[in-house]
Amino acid sequence: MLLAPRVWGSVRLGARGLAGRAPAEGRKVDIAGIYPPVTTPFTATAEVDYGKLEQNLRKLGTVPFRGFVVQGSNGEFPFLTSIERLEVVSRIRQAMPKDKLLLAGSGCESTQATVEMTLSMAQVGADAALVVTPCYYRGRMTSAALIHHYTKVADLSPIPIVLYNVPANTGLDLPVDAVVTLSQHPNIVGIKESGGDVTRMGLIIHKTKKQDFQVLAGSAGFLLASYAIGAVGGICALANVLGAQVCQLERLCLTGQWEDAQVLQHRLIEPNTAVTRRFGIPGLKKTMDWFGYYGGPCRAPLRDLSPDEEEKLRLDFTSNGWL
């Protein structure tokens, strides 16, 4: 059953999605490549700073990325209103190079809300939707529940769906058997795998190789290992500051220059850990300030780094020759 139309601001959205188009029927898109998960800049009063967002995007647009991920975890999407989420994606679509892909985070806790947000993201210009696992009732998020959720979203979406597994944030691993089942859906094209378990990633790649299904590494810290076992790219927080270097690592892997790739991968591990697991988004935004982007503050309840944390963050970059 299709959902009734909803009004977001002045934009009328309905179940037929982008420009009246019906739900997708297996429209494939090649998502291979490197993507930065774009951060959301805020003013000192915690309003979205669209000017700084476009300024960052212009600089990121000079790096040979495949595209951009918008409203992923690094975009602080849980702290934005629905209208803000859509406006950010709309502004980026208008500002970004036309030959780049735009993957927009559309995950919500309920299936109905996720369907509606996915339709909305399609209308404001997303090429594909990145859908995080619902997790509030994680004890009931069985394989059957998650397969039902993603199938319904994919059935009704006018754009392709990319699964998003990020257990560090959700406390939930999308089961491998569920991924394998979902890989057979004609409108589910891949997965962003952020757990860091390369064995699990290899198993997913092995079990979905007969499908037209692509796996993206969710972090630069294990990008080389991911390419070695058959991943096709990465969505990497570190690419917001060391984008050229992450893209260089991709090129070295794709051309079989494994020794050079190993050297570069080793130099990226500590900085990557610093802006992900160790200091998170506050660390990433502080580093962006150092590298000529606008990082700025996070939205509460996230807090800025302490002076001691900032010193440790800087050391992780200087000790590896990046600052």
Annotated catalytic residues are 164, 192
Biggest alpha carbon–alpha carbon distance for the chain: 57
205 has binding-site annotation: no
Indicate the burial class of 151 (C-beta count within 10 angstroms; 0-12, 13-18, 19 or more).
Answer: middle
Cα-trace Rg, the chain = 19
User: Do the Cβ atoms of 283 and 240 come closer than 8 Å?
Assistant: no
Tally of CB atoms within 10 A around 318: 11
What is 125-138 written as a DSSP string? T-SEEEEEPP-TTG
The answer to whether the Cα torsion of 288, 163, 246, 52 is positive or negative is negative
User: Do the Cβ atoms of 123 and 96 come closer than 8 Å?
Assistant: no
Start-end of H helices in the chain: 50-60, 82-95, 111-123, 143-156, 167-170, 176-182, 198-207, 223-228, 243-254, 258-273, 280-290, 307-318
Dist. CA 254–CA 221, nearest whole Å? 17
Binding residues for pyruvate: 235
Binding residues: 235
